[in-house]
Amino acid sequence: MMKLRYWLIGVVYAGCIFAGLMLVRGRSFYEWIMLLVPPGTFREMLIYPLQHHNPVTYNRMLIVGDVVINILAFLPIGMMIFLVFHRLFRYGMTTSLILTMLVVLGGSAWIEYQQRLVPNRIPSVSDVMANTFGAIIGGHVWIWRRQRRAAQADSSNHDDALRETKQAASGSIQPKE
């Protein structure tokens, strides 16, 4: 089970990197396929939709892919910033989430502001929103994970107490005094 999880994480990570590379300006999806995929049937299967479908639909797909990549990229960053505020500075969960949102919002806005200095880069408000949303999701994932672990621990403690009660009622063990 653990190996499957690592393989799944690796595949998702590689897919995100590959999708991010495809969105680099100056290179189209067609060019990346021609560069990375060896000639043959698989390459032809990948190129066919690009040659025979509407380019407007393809551009919309790239925009959605860009938003998804921004969310996924900032999900672990949001988890880390949330943990810094929650564990290191000992803030509550709500305060940590709000501070995480503000830090990522400011940092992402700064990154987009600096993009105006880089040739062929266009700052985007949608990137700031997607990055902030990804960080908030990351904080919520950590909260969900913590609550799930606490529920499992409570369940195992409850099962142990129930087992002891049944054994005491059957007379197999002496009740504690």
Residues 40-78: pLDDT tens digits? Answer: 888 887 777 666 666 666 667 667 777 888 898 888 888
For the cut 90, the answer to whether the pLDDT of residue 95 exceeds it is: yes
Mean pLDDT of all residues in 24-53: 72
Percent of the chain exceeding pLDDT 70 equals: 72
User: Are 124 and 65 a contacting pair, CB within 8 Å?
Assistant: no
Contact 125, 133 (CB under 8 A): no
96 and 32 share a domain? no
Greater model confidence, 116 or 28 = 116
Least confident window among 7-16, 79-88, 109-118, 138-147: 7-16
Supply the pLDDT for residue 2.
58
Residues 6 or more apart in contact with residue 91 via CB below 8 angstroms: 85, 99
Indicate if 23 and 94 belong to the same structural domain: no
Q: Which domain holds residue 6?
A: 1-53
Which one, of 83, 32, 16, 21, lies nearest residue 8 by Cα? 16
Q: Do 86 and 163 sit in the same domain of this protein?
A: yes
